[in-house]
A and B are shown apart, each in its own frame.
Chain A
Amino acid sequence: MGHVKGLKCRECGREYPVDPIYVCEFCFGPLEVGYDYKSIAKAITRKKIEQRPQTLWRYRELLPIDGDPLVGLASGFTPLVKADNLAREIGIDELFIKDDTVVHPTLSFKDRVVAVALTKAKEFDFDTVACASTGNLAHSVSAHGARAGFKRFIFIPASLEASKIVASLVYEPNLIAVDGNYDEVNRLCSEVANKYRWAFVNINIRPFYAEGSKTIGFEIVEQMGWKAPDHIVVPCASGSLLTKVWKALKEFKQIGILKELDTKIFGAQATGCGPIATAVKAGTDVIRPVKPNTIAKSLAIGNPADGFYASQVIKETGGYAEDVSDQEIIDAIKLLARTEGIFAETAGGVTLASAIKLIKAGRITREGTTVICITGNGLKTQEALQGHTMMPHHIKPSLASFEGVLGKISRGD
């Protein structure tokens, strides 16, 4: 049995039963899942969690499902890497990378949210799942949905480059290339979601889907020995992930799993799409929409639905937000690869580059523990690095030719 009490409007507090709905009928505020924390506190302990398989479902009491997990049974519980080389390089005492470049099955944190969304879609008895996405979400819905036996509809703008859609097409979903821009695709999807009884993971299933992001926060705490770090840096697109990482920490505190909580949450954005960082820096909670222009496509949401809530969390915890240029993103991707052997997508470059700026500015102190959330694999956005990597050493197939190059390498030429 699950521990969900119902859905609740984040704006006016009005309560709703557990249904595939996402917006308050009265004030149009977003709906969020509410839990019975008293019964959860009785149901789970650290020990019980530790005895379960190492997947995101080990925290199932704090996820919005009624029965057993049905989708993404191998997703989550990614490594928390102690990044000593990188820590030395950027001048900080203790640094960890939460490495979601290796989430099963499609190598981004979206596998977490989609695992929860599709389990919920099964509970709601949907036979079709859908999403509007240009990248990681499309891959994850296509893959998880294939294994779970759903009919799948993925909506994209028709102008999207072919290379980006192959990683979805291989799972053979119904890929709908809409002859229009992002806004038009979004608008169409809202209309489709209203008319057809489909589970749109980021529309009518969104309250449940978003809860999957909490598992990053739960894992960080468990992997640090049931302690919360001093600083967590989270990339922001809609802002949802940042709010859910904080919600996870607060929930662990509330049910007694976490004894102390004094973590500062920091937001990371690209300068070419940084409405949340702009608001935080300006000291306002009004998020002004922008037209995205950045290589960090997976963060390119100009009108972030949870931007206000993300800025509130940053303020509440004493964190801050930073934004970085495309060149800083590329440099950070290379730095992470060179020092820790982790190849992050452009969003990971945003997070690390922002963290470096926050450290330099003294917003993140050198003392204390810092966790950087790396949310997707660099193999997905290789084109961003074209012309920015080292060149191979070309040689003839002879030992002499090789040793000629070896000499140059040794001399550092």
Chain B
Amino acid sequence: MKMRVRLTFPQNLIKEPVIFTMAKEFNVMPNIRRARVTETVGEMVLELEGEDSRLQEGINFLKAKGIEVELIEGDVIE
């Protein structure tokens, strides 16, 4: 399964290798397409590929860390 997501990192996580940790721990392959890091916030647009349940666990891991995870098509309802 593949998912396109936008991650927003809080300031305290910018220096932590959370994507690498998630990739390794849940066997999820990240493919980074766009990223922007400022002094106060980090934004990353990427594709994640992995087994359905492991991918979901990986996303839950990111959320638990305090990263905001949004689908690229995040505002469909309007």
A-side residues, CB < 8 A to B, are 11, 23, 26-29, 131-134, 137, 182-183, 185-187, 189-190, 200, 202-203, 237-238, 284, 286, 288-289, 298, 301, 303-305
Q: Does B53 make an interface contact (CB < 8 A)? A: no
What 4 A-B pairs have minimum CB-CB distances, sorted nearest first? A303-B74, A186-B76, A132-B76, A190-B73
* Given A26-B33, A28-B33, A28-B34; A190-B68 close (CB under 8 Å): no
A interface: dominant SS:
loop
> CA of A26 to CA of B45 in the docked complex: distance in angstroms?
11
User: If the complex has contacts A238-B78, A301-B77, are A186 and B71 also in contact, measured as CB distance less than 8 A?
Assistant: yes
Cα distance, A132 to B77, chains bound together (Å): 5
User: Given A28-B45, A284-B40, A286-B43, are A303 and B70 also a contact pair (CB < 8 Å)?
Assistant: yes
Do residues B75 and A301 form an inter-chain contact, with CB atoms below 8 A?
A: yes
Contacts of B40 in A (CB 8 A): 284, 286
B24-59: CB near A (< 8 Å → 1, else 0) gives 000000000110101011010101000000000000
- List of B residues within 8 angstroms of A288 by Cβ: 8, 41, 68
Contacts beyond the supplied A26-B33, A303-B74: 19 A-B pairs with Cβ under 8 Å: A23-B73, A28-B45, A133-B78, A137-B78, A182-B77, A186-B77, A190-B76, A202-B76, A202-B78, A203-B73, A284-B40, A284-B41, A286-B40, A288-B41, A289-B70, A289-B74, A301-B75, A301-B77, A305-B73
Contacts of A187 in B (CB 8 A): 71
Give chain A residues whose Cβ lies under 8 Å from the Cβ of B45: 27-29
Q: Which residues of B contact A289 (CB under 8 A)?
A: 8, 68, 70, 74
